[in-house]
Amino acid sequence: MKILAVDLGRARTGLAVCDGNEVLAFPAGVVAEWNREALLRKIAGRAGELSVGEIVVGLPRNMDGTEGPSARAAREFAQALRGLVHVPVVMQDERGTTITAHNYLNDTDTRGKKRKAVVDAVAATVILENHLAYRRNHPAGPAEK
């Protein structure tokens, strides 16, 4: 099944998608949108275009596992998205994904404007890779709703 991952941001939201066999995850672009309702519509539209069977929204927990304002905003966003799509919307812990994305970009010597343009999509790819690993290791158990 194809899965869409969302790395929610204030100004830019990264997207990633996997192949139908859930093996390869790759960046699917960045949505530059400040307006929450417009962002919801754009992501729902993208999910339809890609014919995904599930959407994963990154959950930005604090390093100690607690949830702050950003996590609450992500949960609210996921709930609103559930009202616009006909596929499951689940949450995936995203602790450390932005750091990992920056490390990948450092390894490829991606700098400047190009880096800013792709870091959110790379972070979404890391979220999706983590979700795919979870699914492989927990075939009977759902991810966090």
49: CB partners within 8 A, 6+ apart = none
pLDDT the model gives residue 120: 81
Percent of the chain with pLDDT over 90: 61
Q: CA nearest 1: which of 132, 143, 133?
A: 132
Domains located in the chain, CATH noted: 3-137 (3.30.420.140)
51 falls in which pLDDT band (50, 70, 90)?
very high
Residue 77 DSSP symbol:
H
For residue 20, the SS3 value is: coil
Q: Is residue 59 classed as helix, strand or coil in its secondary structure?
A: strand
- Which pLDDT value is given to residue 109? 61
| Confidence grade of residue 65 (pLDDT, cut at 50, 70, 90) | confident
- The yes-or-no verdict on residue 114 having pLDDT over 80 is no
